[in-house]
Amino acid sequence: MDFNGKRILLGVTGGIAAYKAAELARRLIGCGARVKVVMTRSAQEFVGPLTFAALTGEKVATAMFGPDSDPLEHVALGQEVDAIVVAPATANFIGKVAGGIGDDLLTTIMLAATRPVLICPAMNAEMWANPVVQGNLARLKGRGLLVMEPAAGSLACGAVGLGRLPEADLIVEAAARLLCVPDLAGRQVLVTAGPTHEDFDPVRFLTNRSSGKQGYALAKVAWRRGADVTLVSGPTNLPAPYGVKCVAVRSARDMQAMVKAHFPEVDVLLMAAAVGDYRPTQVEVRKIKRAHEEMAFHLTANPDILKQVAAMKSGQIVVGFAAETHDLEAEARRKMREKHLDLIVANDVNRPDSGFQVDTNEVTLIPRVGDAVPLPLLSKEEVAAKILDQVVALLESRDGDHAKDA
Ligand code: C5P
């Protein structure tokens, strides 16, 4: 992730998790952001402003009044930066913002702010469960602020429950949504990822080398760009991308059911999963015993999910993937025709640095109409961004056609 010099105002309020905001500031800076910290008075009881000044290289704003304060900061700061992240956000701070109270520098900045805001609550589990707090959060969400769910675990007060500040990596991931151009806002995007597992017996299955990394990168980047994303994933070792609704499946037929259930509601399907083409014809209920020197199995073809959803298409943009070892472009074009795709992403899986399991990919984007676009070796997130650029263009031209027809 590259925040590319964007300016983030990091608001720190007075909960014990304030010390974790120091790590968050470092992570944001590590991603290329410039961070300006504003602390409430109680936050300074937990961590000194000097810590943040040293980490960010910028003066920390702490008060509206006093010899060191800038008389216009309370208006300017929330308008000059690219995004505001408040972590941790206490129940008190959330209540004041919900009620329109500006009784210190940070809450007054929030009243005048024009930039996108991420609120990262952290508090005791009972406070979190308090209907007043939940009502206040609902008001903030209703006003378009992005609110993270706290994590579950042991809390500073000794209790175990919901209320921990989310991990810094997740906050950075959520902040990325504030900083990206929201060119997929309001779009429903369905992504499939990973391999499928096709059982022979209770302990053995047929699968392939897919890691799910390209599909997860697509889900992540689509969410950052404003989409509502559902990820239907075969078994992988990857963490669920923040903000994305995840549906876990095992077999091709499980995946088929989930894709078909979601497809009518979406604008875009990105079918990055490596769906097993065949499954064992018979699944043994008991573990198969070693008996002979040779063994033969019968396999049955799995449903081709993409071919089936093509028949259900009502304006959706459908993107398929072709992992090939030979005749890359010709094979990809054949699949595009057969599966009625709008775009196919072709990759040569012979290369060790491209395709399965690695973090990089070299692909060619082949649209139904127009020339193929060969891309250089890129990270899977960069490849995802290029694919989504084409998807945005396809959605815009679809919407333009609809407008003409109306
Ligand atoms: O024909 P092939 O499996 O190479 O096609 C690849 C594309 O088709 C991928 O987008 C994959 O997710 C999709 N596919 C599918 N159902 C299958 C096999 C592949 O939707 N049974």
265-283 as b/e, with b when 16 or more CB fall inside 10 Å? Answer: ebbbbbbbbbbbeebbeee
Given a cut of 90, whether residue 153 has pLDDT beyond it is no
CA distances from 180 to 109, 173, 223, 228 (A): 22, 11, 10, 14
Protein residue whose Cα sits closest to atom 19 of ligand 1: 275
Q: Is 275 a pocket residue for ligand 1 (Cβ < 6 Å)? A: yes
Q: Over 90: is that where the pLDDT of 354 sits?
A: no
Tokens of 94: 């959330």
Helix (H) or strand (E) holding 191: strand 188-193
pLDDT at 377: 93
Q: Kindly state the DSSP code that residue 400 receives in the 8-state scheme.
A: H
What average pLDDT score do residues 35-60 get? 96
Asked whether the predicted pLDDT for residue 45 surpasses 90, the reply is: yes
pLDDT at residue 70, rounded to an integer: 73
According to the model, what pLDDT value does residue 6 have?
96
Cβ atoms < 10 Å from Cβ of 51: 17
Q: Active-site residues: which are they?
A: 157
Q: Of residues 356 and 228, which shows the higher confidence score?
A: 228
For the segment 109-119, the average pLDDT, to the nearest whole number, is 95
pLDDT, tens only, 209-234: 999 999 999 999 999 999 999 999 99
Stretch 368-396: mean pLDDT, rounded? 95
Query: What is 251-280 written as a DSSP string?
Result: SHHHHHHHHHHHGGG-SEEEE--B--SEEE
Q: Counting Cβ atoms within 10 Å, is residue 378 exposed (0-12), middle (13-18) or buried (19+)? A: middle
Ligand 1 centre to CA of 295 (Å) is 28
Per-residue pLDDT at 351? 75
| Distant-in-sequence, close-in-space partners of 406: CB < 8 Å, separation ≥ 6 | none
Tell me which of 278-282, 342-346, 347-351 is least confident: 347-351
Give the dihedral sign, CA 375/217/184/28.
negative
> What's the pLDDT at 85?
98
What is the structure's pLDDT at 158?
75
Residue 71: which pLDDT band, with cuts at 50, 70 and 90?
low
Residue of 256, 263, 270, 275 best suited for mutating to test ligand 1, as the one with most atoms within 8 Å of CB: 275
Distance 243 CA to ligand 1 centre (A): 26
Can you tell me the mean pLDDT for 33-61?
96
Q: What is the pLDDT of residue 181?
A: 94
pLDDT tens readout for residues 72-102:
677 788 788 999 999 999 999 999 999 999 9
Q: What percent of the chain has pLDDT over 90?
A: 82
Read off the amino acid at residue 320.
G
Ligand 1 pocket check for 279: Cβ under 6 Å: no
Average pLDDT for residues 28-56, to the nearest whole number? 97
Give φ, ψ of 401 to 5 degrees: -65, -40
**Hey, whose CA ends up nearest to atom 2 of ligand 1?**
322
φ and ψ at residue 97, rounded to 5 degrees: -65, -40
Distance (angstroms) between ligand 1 centre and the Cα of 26 equals 42
Ordered by start, the domain boundaries in the chain are: 7-179, 188-280+298-405
Report the predicted TM-score, pTM, of the whole model to 2 decimal places. 0.92
Q: Which of 305, 308, 316, 344 is the best mutation target for the ligand 1 pocket, counting ligand atoms within 8 Å of the beta carbon and taking the most?
A: 305
pLDDT higher at 319 or 70: 319
Does ligand 1 have an atom closer than 6 angstroms to the CB of 331?
no
Assess whether the region 7-179 and the region 188-280+298-405 belong to the same CATH fold: yes
Q: Which CATH number fits domain 7-179: 3.40.50.720, 3.40.50.1950, 3.40.190.10, 3.40.50.970?
A: 3.40.50.1950
Element (H, E) at 137: helix 131-142
Which CATH architecture describes the domain 188-280+298-405?
Answer: 3-Layer(aba) Sandwich (3.40)
Gap between the Cα atoms of 287 and 285, Å rounded: 7
